[in-house]
Amino acid sequence: MDQNGSNGSGEKTFTQALTGLRQAAAEISRPSVTLEEAMELYRKGMKEAEFCSTMLDKAEQQIEVFDEGMRNDENI
């Protein structure tokens, strides 16, 4: 992973999505934001939040598989 959070394959990373979500949240709270801008920021933020949620779900599943494997190895 490089200093920008890229994984080298051009795919978005969790860190990039979380940063995008934080930026959208910060921008939407500005007093000067128009309704149209706020709606677009909301849409972008929700897209990033969904991506982060999916990534966290996948990570949780991988941890569960790893833990199961570790428990099975202990029983050998």
Residue 24 near residue 48 (C-beta atoms within 8 A): yes
Residue 49 near residue 21 (C-beta atoms within 8 A): yes
> Residue 76: pLDDT band by 50, 70, 90 thresholds?
low
Q: What number of CA atoms fall less than 13 Å from residue 18's CA on the CB side? A: 11
Tokens 């959208």 identify what position?
Answer: 24
Rounded Cα–Cα distance for residues 41 and 5 (Å): 21
Full-model pTM: 0.76
The pLDDT tens digits for 6-31 are 566 789 999 999 999 999 999 999 99
